Amino acid sequence: METAQLEKFRELVNAERDDVRRQLSDLGQDPDAASFEGSDFDFGFADSAQSTAERNRVLVVVEGLRERLVDINIAIDKLANGTYGLCERCGKPIGAERLEALPHTRLCSDCKSKG
């Protein structure tokens, strides 16, 4: 991959990292923490089922964001060691279009579709 293209992807990955970290912070989470931290839920709320449902929704969102942040950090490491843009399964280059859409992706389209 060319230097200019790598720099473009570095900017995309860093912007994605900043966005995920901001989303975690907005949900009352420490982006650097490895696990879920309790958010302020209204446990005295008359409808405890609603409070539980909201807590579960937040847990799912936080878990997804944390998984995405792990993939983003792996992409940052790959940018540093020169392996960014290579599929982890087959070793072939990942298409630029896929990297633009998902800068943190670890698999090429073919390998991703195989499951």
Q: What is the pLDDT of residue 14?
A: 97
Q: Is pLDDT above 80 for 66?
A: yes
- Confidence grade of residue 37 (pLDDT, cut at 50, 70, 90): low
Q: What does each C-alpha distance from 43 to 33, 48, 61 come to in angstroms?
A: 24, 7, 20
Q: What is the pLDDT of residue 39?
A: 52
Give the domain ranges of the chain: 3-114
Q: What is the pLDDT of residue 34?
A: 72
Q: Specify the CATH superfamily of domain 3-114.
A: DksA, coiled-coil domain (1.20.120.910)
Q: What is the pLDDT of residue 115?
A: 78
CA 61 from centroid of its chain's CA atoms: 11
Q: Which residues contact 5 (CB under 8 A, 6 or more apart)?
A: 96
First to last CA, the chain: 26
- Confidence grade of residue 42 (pLDDT, cut at 50, 70, 90): low
